[in-house]
Structure 1
Amino acid sequence: MENWGLSEWLHWQEALNPKEIDLDLQRIQIVASRLEILPPENLTFLIGGTNGKGTTLALIEDMLIQKGLRVGSYTSPHLINYNERICVNKKPISDSRMIESFRLVESVREDVLLTYFEFGTLAAFITLNDLNCDAWLIEVGLGGRLDATNIISPSISIITNIALDHQEWLGTSLEEIAKEKAGIIAVKTPCIFGDSFLPESIEQTALEKESDLHVLGRDYDLRYLKQRTRGDQDHTVWNGQDSVINAIRIPSHWAEGEYSDLAIALMAIEIVDAQLLPTTKELNQLLKNFSVPGRFQIIEKKQTWILDVAHNPHAARNLNWRLHSLDFQENNINLLKNGRSKFTVLLSMMQDKDVIGFVKEIDQPFVTDWIVCEMDTPRSYSAEVLQKKLIDYGIANVTAEPELLAAFSNIKNSTKKNDRILVTGSFEIVGPA
């Protein structure tokens, strides 16, 4: 171990516990008790929910950095490099810093069989602790109640929304899933819910834990207001608990999900410290430059590539809206030459995902061809199985490419200049793109 590089450490962690996912806090709590993990008392954000966690976290991150704070973040999974999971002011930590934290976890682990995610979570907390971050932004991995991130005491808990995903672990109904995600609500600690549909289990958990619950549409909102008179302009307004931000310029390609994410982020900032809320000018400058890798990320090359990690029907619905929005973006008018508004879609998904539910949400007239492939993980659907599912659903133009890299190569060679290619279905397919 003394001379191991980062890849060797990660390989070893994957085999340490025979179960890839083992939802139980006992193991990580035992090891955590042997470490000094002290999150910031007033600026520790624990962010859960089905979709929008990454975007919500990134918005809070940008707002706090804009105010001069040193912000540490822990997210998962990564797109390309493991180091992306742990950042300070958006900069991934170095391999050497990562290895130093791994060594410290191992030095106190003894015979506890941590999972890959538990080991990494402890290393992340140690790193953020040692690097003296003013604020911690922690993204929940899976569920909430038994997720490894739930060992810390947050200043505020955030649940972005509830949708069907990971049913084999969290339950088959929205209420069952909500109950698991409500597990991150802490005693006498504020909580934000980012949807107007409030599951009973979240409301009940907040009551039991005496948590001040703030619900989108009830306690705060973000509204687009049409002009009322000739001299007025359309504008967006955020209404918080005691604060209002007017004249917000929302990016033209945003959908309902991003509106909610922004409303949540602003509410979280107001609750922990209203002095850290951005002014209208600061917020508009932030939004003008805002992007999150793999979330409707547009890359202009010979073709136009759109990368999105959506992997469940709820996220696909939001993605579909954003595809529609491309036709109205002046800054992307070059995408619409010759009236072109269609895509080649490169799709791959994990075996626990609702493929047809996902595909149903993408308007078929948008798509000229579907290309399905297998990702480099045993959890991936094979290209042949995906192809059969889409054909059985009634989609005719479906090509199976067993190897991911071959699929990318063939798309590049078979599409023309300025064609649009959507890569979606999983983090594992977007990363290599």
Structure 2
Amino acid sequence: MLSGSPENLSEWLERIEACHPSDIELGLDRVRDVAARLALDFPRSKVVTIAGTNGKGSTQTFLDHMLRSAGYSTACYSSPHFLRYNERVRINGAEVSDAVLCEAFAAVEAARGTIALTYFEYGTLAALKIFAQQAPDVVLLEVGLGGRLDAVNIVDPQVAVVTTVALDHTDWLGDTRELIGREKAGIFRAGTAAVCGDPEPPESVAAVAHELGASMYQVGTDFAYQELSSGWCWQGHTRAGVAVELTDLPLPVLPLPNAATALQVLHLLLESPSRKAIESALRAATMTGRMQQLMLGDTECILDVAHNPQAAQYIAGRLAKSPPAGRLHVLLGMLGDKDVSGVLTALQPVGQCWHFASLGGPRGQSAEALAQRMHVLDPQAQCWTYENVPSALSGVRQHVGAADRVLIAGSFFTVSAALEQLERST
């Protein structure tokens, strides 16, 4: 155990960053040992665990809003954060206080003894400690990486969700969708519900559900949705197998496929969800850094953490439906271990001007490298390069007009830096 006792949240975060030599070390033994010492238990809460390459956060957000609109108390754990660590741990939609986090960190520190925990494992145990004390009606846990060996998987869920399966984090999860699907489906449990929102999932997802004896609810088979000109409709099933249909639903700001997945989960958790609560949640559900709309002076600005081709394709599709009167400026900063060419290829049909920002750290991709990748796709592409996100934002300001639109994407680091800069300028 490190010497000295942290006195505030900032000092605690420094402590947990220094607790383990690696950022990632998959495995549950260490976390389970500490959780047993903390006597973590959730006898009064239903637990929903959400894994997936894309869509975890918005699925959690839809569920949180739907449940709270129906009068149920909720707790949410997600990662990473944008501006404040407190964003990761929320009770009934509100971030927990510094004091509550510090108390939970102190409990984990006292329990872990000589066990080295990663930053994510430490934070997960602290969140679970808080949720066990608060005992909300429903606990919504977002997987950090993969599923089977992720720290949140020490908790047995009543409903487990896999939103999508795409190639990402291949060094940790495998280099095929079949391997990655098996890792994500590792959150399934025998005799419980397993919901899959990927319309074309790898066979391994259903195979794991069958091996474990989990009840599978697959989009396109067990639940479905259709987008219409003025809204959308949804069909699904209750846990008892009763068919349910909802028509004329309001279109959400966040991705519609994840709203459909959340509705299936909701009908497995509740006997008869309120139509009014569902409509209210669909209208209210928004997230920081996911199709988030702000203004950059007189120019509309959209921020989204999309960092893989699947997410970039979704954004491009949304933007293509309502193009700006002027040009779309894309401010992009990415990590070197991501599929940069895939993201650029997805965004190329909608982007006209490209502003590339270098990201620091050992994984950061340089702006010049991003521009080179863009010029391979389009030698005539109009590109600017910047040393960091703040300087890229300043550069964008000099080139945009009121009729233009700006998309800021590529990484949580990119969006976080942009949000911090925009917050300072307001």
Percent identical pairs in the alignment equals 36
Contact persistence 1:373–1:407 (CA under 8 A): yes
Q: Aligned match of 1:207 in 207, 210, 214?
A: 210
- In the alignment, the residues of structure 1 paired with residue 213 and residue 42 of structure 2 have an alpha-carbon distance, to the nearest angstrom, of 22
Q: Aligned match of 1:165 in 159, 168, 178?
A: 168
Structure 2 equivalent of residue 300 of structure 1: 295
Q: CA RMSD in A?
A: 1.7
Deviation at 1:190, TM superposition (A): 0.8
Residue 247 (1) aligns with residue 243 (2): no
Contact persistence 1:140–1:149 (CA under 8 A): yes
Contact persistence 2:329–2:351 (CA under 8 A): yes
Deviation at 1:121, TM superposition (A): 0.3
Residue 287 (1) aligns with residue 311 (2): no
Residue 38 (1) aligns with residue 41 (2): yes
Deviations 1:282-329 (A, max 9, x none): 3333322321111111113422111001110011110101111224xx
Residue 113 (1) aligns with residue 116 (2): yes
Contact persistence 1:160–1:194 (CA under 8 A): yes
Q: Which amino acid aligns with 2:220?
A: G
Residue 370 (1) aligns with residue 354 (2): yes
SS class of match (2:387) = strand
- In the alignment, the residues of structure 2 paired with residue 88 and residue 386 of structure 1 have an alpha-carbon distance, to the nearest angstrom, of 39
Deviations 1:130-164 (A, max 9, x none): 22322100000000010011000111100011111
- In the alignment, the residues of structure 1 paired with residue 396 and residue 226 of structure 2 have an alpha-carbon distance, to the nearest angstrom, of 40
Q: Which amino acid aligns with 1:318?
A: Y
- In the alignment, the residues of structure 1 paired with residue 366 and residue 90 of structure 2 have an alpha-carbon distance, to the nearest angstrom, of 34
Q: How does 1:167-316 map to 2 (within 5 A)?
A: 167-224=170-227, 235-241=231-237, 242=242, 243-251=244-252, 258-275=255-272, 277-279=273-275, 281-302=276-297, 303-316=299-312
Q: Which amino acid aligns with 2:274?
A: P
Deviation at 1:367, TM superposition (A): 2.1
Structure 1 residues 48 and 40: alpha-carbon distance in aligned structure 2, compared to 1, 3 A threshold: farther
Deviation at 1:185, TM superposition (A): 0.6
Q: How does 1:400-419 map to 2 (within 5 A)?
A: 400-419=385-404
- In the alignment, the residues of structure 1 paired with residue 17 and residue 214 of structure 2 have an alpha-carbon distance, to the nearest angstrom, of 37
Aligned residues: 408
Q: Which amino acid aligns with 1:119?
A: Y
Deviation at 1:82, TM superposition (A): 0.8
Structure 1 residues 346 and 200: alpha-carbon distance in aligned structure 2, compared to 1, 3 A threshold: same
Q: How does 1:90-169 map to 2 (within 5 A)?
A: 90-169=93-172
Contact persistence 2:50–2:56 (CA under 8 A): yes
> Which 5+ residue runs of structure 2 have no aligned equivalent?
419-426
Q: How does 1:300-339 map to 2 (within 5 A)?
A: 300-302=295-297, 303-327=299-323, 336=324, 339=325
Q: Aligned match of 1:429 in 411, 414, 418?
A: 414
Q: How does 1:354-365 map to 2 (within 5 A)?
A: 354-364=339-349
Q: Which amino acid aligns with 1:69?
A: Y
- In the alignment, the residues of structure 1 paired with residue 300 and residue 227 of structure 2 have an alpha-carbon distance, to the nearest angstrom, of 30
Residue 63 (1) aligns with residue 61 (2): no
Q: Aligned match of 2:56 in 42, 53, 61?
A: 53
Residue 385 (1) aligns with residue 381 (2): no
Deviations 1:377-405 (A, max 9, x none): 33211222222222233353221101222
- In the alignment, the residues of structure 2 paired with residue 361 and residue 58 of structure 1 have an alpha-carbon distance, to the nearest angstrom, of 26
Deviation at 1:418, TM superposition (A): 4.4
Contact persistence 1:42–1:155 (CA under 8 A): no
Q: Which amino acid aligns with 1:249?
A: P
Contact persistence 1:195–1:217 (CA under 8 A): no
Deviation at 1:175, TM superposition (A): 0.4
Q: Which amino acid aligns with 1:282?
A: A
> Which 5+ residue runs of structure 1 have no aligned equivalent?
227-233, 328-335
Contact persistence 2:345–2:377 (CA under 8 A): no
Contact persistence 2:307–2:409 (CA under 8 A): yes
TM-score for both structures, normalised by structure 2: 0.92
Deviation at 1:260, TM superposition (A): 1.7
